[in-house]
Each structure stands twice: as C-alpha cells, then as structure tokens.
Structure 1
C-alpha cells in the first residue's frame, strides 16, 4: 500500500485489546504447502488459530448494486481439530446459516461487538469437521466496500464496486480469520450484472463473461488483508508478456501508455531479488474515489487514476506495489506492530527498481523527498505528543492498526535498510535480501525474528560486528537518528539555483524548467519562501499553470500553499479537485491547511459536505475526525 497519514509526496480511535494467542508462519521453504508455525500474538483478531486455523476459503457471492450488498456463502476449510469451536472475525455481517460438510447445521454465536473489531463468530464444531459453510449477507455500510454510482465513474453509464481490506476490513465482507499472520488459499465464484466484469486478487479473466459469472483461484496462500474484489465496466490491455492493465474503456489507452514500462520493472525486480512467484502482474486503474495510491493485491494491484499524468512521471507507485510482491505479499509482517517489515522493505525495493529503470539521479530525487517528508512528520508527531509512534516497532495494543500507517514504517524503515546497505556494501546486502525473500517465501516475520536473521545472515556472515545500539536507535528508539543516510539529488541543486534566481527578481517565465519532472516541480513548490505575496503566487500561476495542472502531486502542494496564503484564484479548481479525488494522501494536507483557521474550517466543511459521498470509508474516517464531522 502506498499512502499514509503524512502523505508521501510520491506515494485512530481506540480498540479494546484482546489477549488471544496467534500461531503464524515464521519461516519456511519457498513452497506454499510447507509453512511452519510459531506463536505470535495478534491483538487485532478474534481468531484462535492455535486451536483451529483456516487453510482454504471458497466464496460463492452475488453482487447486488441495488441493495449495495454481497450475498452468498463462504466455506472455511481447516485441519481436523480436537477443539470444540472455530473462531472467526466478522463486522456487521448478517449470518443466516452455518452448516458442516454433511449439510447439517452447526450452532454458532455472534459475540458482542467491540468498536473497530466487529464481532467474534464462534462456530460449534462436530467430531471430524474439516469445513463449515457460512451463508451470509454484507451490510450496505460495509467499511471495505465502496459502491459507486455511474456518475462517479469515467464512463458515467455503469456502477462500480471495489474493496479495500487492509488493515482489518476484510471481516466486513467475508467471515474469516482476519490477521496478517494467517495465510490461506482461496477460490471464488462471483456473479455480477452481465454487462460488468469481476476481478479479484487471483487468476483473472481478460474479457467479460456472457452470463456475468466469474470463477477465480488463488493457489498461493495469502493473508486476509489481500482479499480483493472489483466489479465494473472495464477492459484489458496487455503491456508485456506477464503484465497488463485494466481500466474503464474510455481510459484504457491512456492508462496502458502510462503503465507501459511495467514489464521492465518486473524484469528489474527479478534481477535483484529472485523470481516473481505470482504468475501475472496486472494493474487495475480504479475510479478517483479509491483512497490510496495503490494496494498490492496479489496478481492485481489496485491503483489510483491520479498517477495517470501523461508522462510516466508518477510510476514509482507501480514500482512500490510491484515490490510488495516480495516484501509484504511473499514475506508478511506477523502482526500490525511489525508493519515496517512490509513497507520499509518495499520502499527500499521500490527505490532500487526505479534506479534500475530510470537511473540513480532519478532514484535519489525520490529518496531526498522521502527524507524531507520523514523529517517533517517526525517533528509534527513529536510536537503532538506522539513520539512513541516514531518507533519502527509499534505498540498498537488497544488501537486501530491504521494508526501505524505513517511515513515512519515507510521512510524510516527505508533509511534503516539503506544504512545497513552502506555498512556492508550493496553486493552483500543484495545477496542477503534475495536469500531472505527466498527462505521465508509464503511465510511471515516479526521484528525480533528479523533482527536474529539479520545478525546471523548479514552481519556475522560478513564479519561485521553486531551493534545493538543500532537497533535501539532505529527500531526501538524514537525519532530519526542522526546517522541516517544522506541522499544526494544533483537535479534538486539545479532547482535551487532557478528558485534563488526567481527570488532575486528573475521573471518566472525565464526560468530554465523545460526538463523538469514532477519531482523537481514538487521540490520547487515545497521549498518556496514561507511568505510569498499574492502577486508572486499569481506570477508563478500564470507562468506555469499550477492551478489548472492535471498532475495531482503538483496541485496538492499548490492548493495547500494557496490556502495558507489566501490565493483565492485557486479555490474553485481546488474544490473541484477535492470533490472528484478520494485519495487520502491528497485530501488530508489540503483539508488540514483549511482547518487551521476559523474561516478555512468553514470552507473545508462546505466542500466536504459535497465531497464526502465520493470518498471511501478510509478517507472519510480520517476527515470526519479532522473536521469534527459526525459519521453519516
């Protein structure tokens, strides 16, 4: 996933704690069928996998746009157990009937709901049971499901549905064991209106079915947060031997061009860290309400249309989601306290892919922007009394796991791994990472397990002394250690030269900006003086067309600056952008800047009233809290 609370420039609420033991895979050979179990506690699930653990899921669901529900059955398969109950996670599901493989009913109990966690579903088992079939219906308000009216799509004629299961929202559309430490295979039969296509995080069709029935298989075991479904009027275009793009028909050509280098990225990734183990790598470009930059659903990345800039300048997001095919999807964080093991590795891997495809100077621009963002967020979190959340190893007991989705996991994690690379050398670090992904494929890892593996297989193996102070500073310590790596972005030095010339009186139209990428423009805008005049804002706007730019990365920085300085000429375009765009990364900085003043707060609430119906729960949940709006 590429999106978080501080909103990378190129990419809460309390929970009642549970004291449940969780058995999860710690290490295994690369075969999905040979996963070993080691106890690790996950406080965000009702499941008791040390008693009964699901190993396969079979879905049979019908999609009903009129009622905004999914209905049908989920069959949970597990090994025969001496325990009397199977415990699953659910949230606002209507459980109609549960039966065993013999067709006879099984009694069950839905325990009282706990905020954010939903309800535990306890199913009574009979001797010899190895599966149960749960008939159920989802709620129209299911938090993982985003139902879009035709007007919210590019084509304006057909409705659209997509899911977002991470972190613990899969339980709102499937009764299952919703923990990153529990992996299972799955199959599905999905029935949709005949004019629409269904896609999942599985083996997918490339053409519409005549009867609206689609069948899927995911033979590799995945955790629940990677369960994904999308239904809409989409078409497919191949961009490589193993890569392709799904999008609404009117957008397909643009999207296929923009993502035309995916095969090169895939080849570069394999050259670094071993074979891609998921078959195909395809991307679906979703309607604008998708709340994240991307979601790494296996075989089918969900992506925001805000990366379609026309010049392939924002495709680092695709490199990030592709990298998750190794870090996260192949080797998964055992619990959400270990989230940095997913995202820190992925940002490191993303940067290496971008370097391989576009060159070191390009990759260093991304790293430099990440460092600036990280420094700003660490300062903001510390000032807000949240310094504890600047540790890589989190303590999310009694909290929503989404609280851990910040740049700390992503960028502090990246710079820690980059520091390790600098200490041992890139060649040795690459050998280590490739071995790490291969050894622990289709398994999970926690922070302490990784440290032990790191000591043995990287440091001691290469004659480097184990430095426990390094872990104390970077993993268990607050803030950003002073020994962090320093990216060197020569192209930003050229931007500094042009910006300084403008500040000293050179006309904006005379600046040498023709070869600038999105990253240089973002850097230019973010390093402008704090106190620009409205005349200076107008000069920049007239010279470079920021207000009317179609590049979401650029306009987000520009609109935030416009609100701060009261540049009202940008407000109509800003409102249109906020109403149309649902990506949380872009929404939060603009709304936050408006919310900083009384007048701005009134403007924010007026825009939000129009825009909120277009937003996914993930975005509206954050904005409700920011703006003090009661959930609707």
Structure 2
C-alpha cells in the first residue's frame, strides 16, 4: 500500500479537497489546517494530532540484536507543524525512549502517557520551534510487530530470522511515529545485522551492504509517501532470484526453486495490472516468501510483498494471492483508507482488481469460480448474523465492529462488480483508473469515493444513480437488491457431484484430478458435516486429501475431520498447527477442536501449549480468544 514526494497531499476537512504540503525548507512556518479532521476521516486508533503537527519523513538507524530479540537505535523525524505548535504527539507501544533531541542536539522534554491495551501509549514531545527531532530508543523484545524466529523455525535450520507485520497498528511497537494510515510519510533506513544474514525492507535498496566486520549495514529508501503500517523488514539467510526485468523473489535457499517456479507469472501480472489501471509507480515489484510463522497469506508492503509459503502448491493454483497483493500497489498503497473503519477501500477494491488480473492471466472460468466462492462467503455471513446487522455495511461507523473479512473483502468486491455490470466495463475501468490517478499517494474515505463516483461516473444521470444504489451499498447493511450474482453454472459439475455424493455416497475420484482448486474447495465446503469415520476415511482415500500439497484443500479436509471427531487426522492436525502460523488456517482449526467439547478441547489446549510461542502476535491474539472461550 504503498514519484517524487515533494508534494505530499493533505486531506482538508469538509470539502475533502487537497493542498500540496510545504517544501521541507518552509515546513517550520507552514499552517497545518485541518488535516484528516472530518468525522469520517478522523482516525480513532492513533493518539496523533495531525491538525497541530505531523510527521512527514522518518529516517531510521537501527541495529538488529537476535540474541536479545531487540531492535534499537535512532529515528529522525521531520515535522510539519503550525507556527504556534508546542508539542507533537506520536504513537508508542512498549518503546524504551532514552532521549529526544532537536537539530542542535538539545534535549527535548517528553512524556509517555497511560497505556491502552489496543493503542499503546501517547508519546508527547515538547518540540518548541524544532522541526527535526532525533529519538534514541529500543523496542521491547515482545514488540507486537516483530517476530524473532529460532533457526529450527526456518527452512534452513541454521540461522535465526526476523519478520515484521505492521498492519493495522503494530508498527508503533518498533518505530516511534504517528501510526495512522492517513498520515503518509516518506522514509529511509540504515539497518545493521550480523553476518551472514541479509536484510530486506519495503523500500528501494541503496546498493551493496557496508562491511562492518562481523556485521553489515543495509540501506533503503522510500521516496513516495506511504502510510506507516507499510514500513516492513525481514532478515535472515535469504537469497534472491530475478523473475523479470522488475520482479524477483527472496526466500531461504532451500525454498528458492519452488518459490520461483510458483511465481513465474509475476511479471505478466504486473503488465496486466498496468493495462487495466495505469502505470505501476513503485519501481520494482519484489517479493519475499517467509517462514510459515507469518500470520497472513500476504502483506502488500511496497516493493517487497511478504508472502506465506502456504500458497506454494506446485501448480500455481493459489497465485490469486499474488494477484491480490500486487493489486494493492494501486488500491491500498497508492490510495489508502484514511482510517480502519474504511478498510474496504483497501481490501474490497483490491479483491475486485485481483479478479480482473486473474481473468487476464488464467482465464475467465477460473476468475468466475473464485468470484463465486467469494460471494458465497458473503451470503454465509449474512445468514449467520442477519442482513440488518450494522456490521455488514462496508463503512463502519464508530462503535460498530465489522461482521468480518467477508464483508470488507468480498462484499466490497461484489459492489464493484455490480457497478461494472450496470455501467459497462469500459466506462467503469476508465473511472477506476482515474480514481487512482486523482488520489494517488493520498488517503481516502468512503464519503470521498461516493462523491467521486457521483461526479465522475454517474455525472448527473438520475436514472443511473437510482440503478446503482451507491449510498446503500456503502453505508447500509446487507446486500442491495441490484447485486450481480455469480454465474450459477460456474460450479455446475461440482454441484452435481455434491448431490450425487449426498444421495448415494458417490465420491468424484475421477473428476477430482481435473478440477481446479476452487472446484475442490466448493466440493469440500459442501460435504455434509455429519460424516462417520468410515465415510471420512473413504473420502480421504479416494481424493488423496491427507497427501495434498495444496494447503487450502488440506485445511478444509482437516477442519472437516475435526468437526467430525475423526481421530486418525489428529496427528496431521498437530503437525499442521506446529508448522503453519497463518491465522486464516490456525484459528478455525482451533475453533473446530474447541467446538467438540470434551473430545476436542483437551486436544486444542495440548496442541496450543506447544505451538503458541511459535505464532506471531496477530495469530496468538486470535487463538487466545478461542482457547480461552472468548471468541
């Protein structure tokens, strides 16, 4: 979510228009009035007061201490502030601040406020006339954004590994800044690490590392303003392989061949995305395939997408994940939700864009099947929570919790597919491309998108506006009645096989080998959840579920097995949960076990006692609620 940043746009209040930021030389006298202060744009997850003073650039000089599991050094912050501003407020979560100084080296008074379990604590600094400050600090070894892996948790087994995950508000645990998606910042970094480890970040590498004896220094730069959650780092025994003129992959040597083979279509994806919605503006598009402890499928950090190895199936059947993270280079990185109540602007738009890339690279049939799976999840959520549940609206008002990622991702994508269907693909594509161009490197809100659609897509056509129901889609719960549903024939063969299985126990072993991943997922999701051990063993044997290399299919099988108390699958579940840290898989498997009462709960608690320390904080937080009976 992530060219020259000389004109960083500031979001104004009521009109949602923008003015250019003052050049660095004039920042000390610039008025910051008012930035991100409209009710729909204000971010309640930050302590920052950007209408008074805000960070425009961060320069990090940090050392990685693998033995102590710490990051420490200095952060130099450039500040844009009102002339009469006396303080700047940053976000902090467990940071140990040694001292803060101005440009002349004079110490600046500061105080750390009371900590909140979710937001951390405000760091208030008395800046006076200072517009560049240096913070000397250390991150806590338990910093939520950072995961320190022991050698045995890596593919190579010889060297430790570090990875970060900053979204949504975790980067305040290792970087002192204003950790809000609307307060975009440029940044640079110098990172030292022990040999022979390499370091990568979500910025452009500034040449070969500097030799410091037993350590090396790596330099990176991001000259485009990004939301702070997109500052990311990874370090370990990693190698690089080019995939195309501007694309490549980093990963551990033992995984490099498999990763490169799975990602062979990446350059073609970039080209397809550009043809749809304009130039790729970040220079390079590289990726790093991380150890399996990474909590998400992927993270769209600019110029260095982070990927889980669980997408590697050997047949490129799960590369929709790559299409999704690439699409974020426009929706999310280029134009970013100003706060997390509008996260559908990042994820829903990206999910739509992902489908378009998939269609270009892999064909319409695969795209339609994946869309049908996506839409089915929306209907499942609506059936569970009710169509009037306020959490099923795309925009989430204060105090309302989203009904889930199915709304943020999948309902958001369904909205855009509906608009495309009504106005026509050519007209829709022209509008979406212009949206990215008009708001490049700026934060956005649902209200801004609605107004932009009305002005630049509807253009005063009252009849079209009535057909589109834009406000209802964005601000109201449920699904409007104009929703374009997936082609009912997308899974005709699979659905027929499901009915045959339900009626007579016929297992589609012959057809299975020719089915796509989406078709296999459709079948497994449709298997009745009251199977006997004999029935489960027959399905496993006929379809080779336990031996599949496709983690999406394997997960569905293991979940089904646990929901039916299928003892033979327990050892495989334990192995899976001991080697995979992706929250999408881990939490539902623990939920399945905990839902099986006296049979499953002891198994869940025993496994979690041995696996929790290996999970990222994101996954730990999710599973803690399940195992402790809170989720």
**TM-score greater than 0.5 by the shorter chain:** yes
Q: Does the aligned pair in 2 maintain the 1:22–1:42 contact within 8 Å?
A: no
Alignment root-mean-square deviation, CA: 2.6
Q: CA deviation at 1:464?
A: 4.9
Alignment of 1:185-224 (within 5 A): 185-204=186-205, 210-211=211-212, 212-224=216-228
Q: Does the aligned pair in 2 maintain the 1:177–1:224 contact within 8 Å?
A: yes
Match of 1:334 in 2: 338
Q: Does the aligned pair in 2 maintain the 1:30–1:442 contact within 8 Å?
A: no
Match of 2:581 in 1: 582
Gap runs ≥5 in structure 1: 2-20
Q: Does the aligned pair in 1 maintain the 2:293–2:616 contact within 8 Å?
A: yes
After the TM superposition, which of the residue ranges 59-68 and 499-508 deviates more from structure 2? 499-508
Match of 1:85 among 77, 84, 87: 87
For 1:464 and 1:269, the matched residues in 2 are separated by 32
Alignment of 1:307-456 (within 5 A): 307-382=311-386, 387-397=389-399, 406-456=405-455
Q: CA deviation at 1:100?
A: 0.4
Q: CA deviation at 1:146?
A: 0.5
After the TM superposition, which of the residue ranges 463-472 and 54-63 deviates more from structure 2? 463-472
Q: Compute the TM-score of the two structures, normalised by the length of structure 2.
A: 0.91
Match of 2:233 among 229, 254, 257: 229
For 2:511 and 2:128, the matched residues in 1 are separated by 75
Matched residue SS, 1:475: helix
Q: CA deviation at 1:388?
A: 2.1
Q: CA deviation at 1:590?
A: 1.4
Q: 2:98 matched to 1:96? A: yes
Q: Does the aligned pair in 2 maintain the 1:198–1:214 contact within 8 Å?
A: yes
Matched residue SS, 1:53: strand
Match of 1:620 in 2: 620
Gap runs ≥5 in structure 2: 2-9, 25-31
Match of 2:114 in 1: 112
For 1:395 and 1:194, the matched residues in 2 are separated by 49
Structure 2 CA distance for partners of 1:549 and 1:455, relative to 1, 3 Å = same
For 1:461 and 1:197, the matched residues in 2 are separated by 55
Match of 2:6 in 1: none
Match of 1:287 among 285, 288, 291: 291
Match of 1:181 in 2: 182
Q: Does the aligned pair in 1 maintain the 2:372–2:490 contact within 8 Å?
A: no
Structure 2 CA distance for partners of 1:612 and 1:101, relative to 1, 3 Å = same
Matched residue SS, 1:618: helix
Q: 2:519 matched to 1:515? A: no
Q: Does the aligned pair in 1 maintain the 2:181–2:337 contact within 8 Å?
A: yes
Q: 2:42 matched to 1:41? A: yes
For 1:598 and 1:333, the matched residues in 2 are separated by 41
Q: Does the aligned pair in 2 maintain the 1:502–1:511 contact within 8 Å?
A: no
Q: 2:271 matched to 1:270? A: no
Q: CA deviation at 1:535?
A: 1.9
Match of 1:159 in 2: 160
Structure 2 CA distance for partners of 1:204 and 1:112, relative to 1, 3 Å = same
Q: Does the aligned pair in 2 maintain the 1:31–1:441 contact within 8 Å?
A: no
Matched residue SS, 2:408: helix
Structure 2 CA distance for partners of 1:157 and 1:78, relative to 1, 3 Å = same
Q: Does the aligned pair in 2 maintain the 1:47–1:89 contact within 8 Å?
A: yes
Q: How many residue pairs get matched?
A: 606
Q: Does the aligned pair in 2 maintain the 1:65–1:159 contact within 8 Å?
A: yes
Q: Does the aligned pair in 2 maintain the 1:142–1:173 contact within 8 Å?
A: yes
Q: Compute the TM-score of the two structures, normalised by the length of structure 1.
A: 0.91
Structure 2 CA distance for partners of 1:585 and 1:369, relative to 1, 3 Å = same
Alignment of 1:532-571 (within 5 A): 532-571=531-570
For 1:265 and 1:309, the matched residues in 2 are separated by 18
For 1:361 and 1:97, the matched residues in 2 are separated by 59
Match of 2:604 in 1: 604
Q: Does the aligned pair in 2 maintain the 1:86–1:125 contact within 8 Å?
A: yes
Structure 2 CA distance for partners of 1:22 and 1:275, relative to 1, 3 Å = closer
Alignment of 1:3-14 (within 5 A): none
Higher relative contact order (Cα pairs below 8 Å, separated by 6+ residues): 1
Q: CA deviation at 1:496?
A: 2.2
Structure 1, residues 235-266: CA drift from partner, whole Å, max 9, x if none? 00011111110110110010000011000110
Match of 1:54 in 2: 55
Structure 1, residues 540-591: CA drift from partner, whole Å, max 9, x if none? 1111221232221011111111011122111111110011110000112211
Match of 1:4 in 2: none
Q: Does the aligned pair in 1 maintain the 2:509–2:543 contact within 8 Å?
A: no
Q: CA deviation at 1:113?
A: 1.0
Q: CA deviation at 1:334?
A: 1.1
Q: CA deviation at 1:499?
A: 3.4
Match of 1:12 in 2: none
Q: Does the aligned pair in 2 maintain the 1:339–1:404 contact within 8 Å?
A: no
Q: Does the aligned pair in 2 maintain the 1:22–1:49 contact within 8 Å?
A: no
Q: CA deviation at 1:461?
A: 6.2
Q: Does the aligned pair in 2 maintain the 1:180–1:334 contact within 8 Å?
A: yes
